[in-house]
Structure 1
Amino acid sequence: MSGGQIQDEDISASSQWSESTAARYGRLDFEEGDGAWCPEITVEPDSLKEFLQIDLRSLHFITLVGTQGRHAGGIGNEFAQMYKIKYSRDSSRWISWRNRQGKQVIEGNRNAYDIVLKDLEPPIIARFVRFMPVSDHSMNVCMRVELYGCEWLDGLVSYNAPAGEQMSLEGQPVHLNDSVYDGAVIYRWGLGQLTDGMCGLDDFTHSHVYNVWPGYDYVGWTNESFPNGYVEIMFEFDRTRNFTTMKVHCNNMFMKHVKAFRQVVCYFRSEADWEATPLSFSPVVDDVNLSARFVTISMANHMASAIKCQFYFAEAWMMFSEITFQSGDDPTHKIDDSNTRILIVCLVAIILILVAIIVIILWRQVWQKMLEKASRRMLDDELTASLSLQSETFAYSHNNPTSSSAPSEQESSSTYERIFPLGPDYQEPSQLIRMLPEFSHTSKDAGDMKSPHFAQDGVPHYAEADIVNLQGVTGGNTYAVPALTMDLLSGKDVAVEEFPRKLLTFKEKLGEGQFGEVHLCEAEGMKEFIDEDFSFNISDNQPVLVAVKMLRADANKNARNDFLKEIKIMSRLKDPNIIRLLAVCICSDPLCMITEYMENGDLNQFLSRHEPEGQMALISNVTTVGYSDLRYMATQIASGMRYLSSLNFVHRDLATRNCLVGKNYTIKIADFGMSRNLYSGDYYRIQGRAVLPIRWMSWESILLGKFTTASDVWAFGVTLWETLTFCKEQPYSQLTDEQVIENTGEFFRDQKRQIYLPQPVLCPDSLYKIMLCCWRRNTKERPSFQEIHRVLLESQA
Structure 2
Amino acid sequence: MCWCDRWTIMHLFLLLILQATAALGQIDPAHCRYALGMEDNRIKDEAITASSQWYETTGPQYGRFNSEEGDGAWCPKGQLEPSDTQYLQVDLGRLTFLTVVGTQGRYARNSGNEYARAYRLNYSRDGVLWKSWRNRLGNAVIEGNKNAYQSVINDIHPPIITRYIRVIPVTKLSTTVCMRVELYGCLWDEGLISYSAPEGQLMQQPGHPIANFSDSTYDGVNERRLSGGLGQLTDGVIGLDNFLQARQYHVWRGYDYLGWRNDSLGTQGHVEMEFVFDRQRNFTSMKVHSNNMFSQGVKIFSSVSCWFKPRLIAAWEPEPVTFMTVLDDRNPSARYVTVPLNRRTAKSLRCRFYFADVWMMFSEVSFQSGNTHKHTHTFISQQKIYLLILFSSEPPDDGNTPILIGCLVTIILLLIIIIFLILWCQCVSCGGGYAEPDVTQCTPHQCFHSNAPHYAETDIVRLQGVTGSNMYAVPALTVDSLTRKDISAAEFPRQQLIFREKLGEGQFGEVHLCEAEGLPEFLGEGSPLPDRDCLSVLVAVKQLRADATNQARNDFLKEIKIMSRLNDPNIIRLLCVCVTSDPLCMVTEYMENGDLNMFLSQREIETSSLSKHVLLFFPLPPSSLSDLLHMSVQIASGMKYLASLNFVHRDLATRNCLLDRRLTIKIADFGMSRNLYSSDYYRIQGRAVLPIRWMAWESILLGKFTTASDVWAFGVTLWEIFTLCKEQPYSLLSDEQVIENTGEFFRNQGRQIFLYAPPLCPPSLFELMMRCWRRDIPDRPTFEGLYQALRPHVNQ
TM-score (structure 2 length as normaliser): 0.49
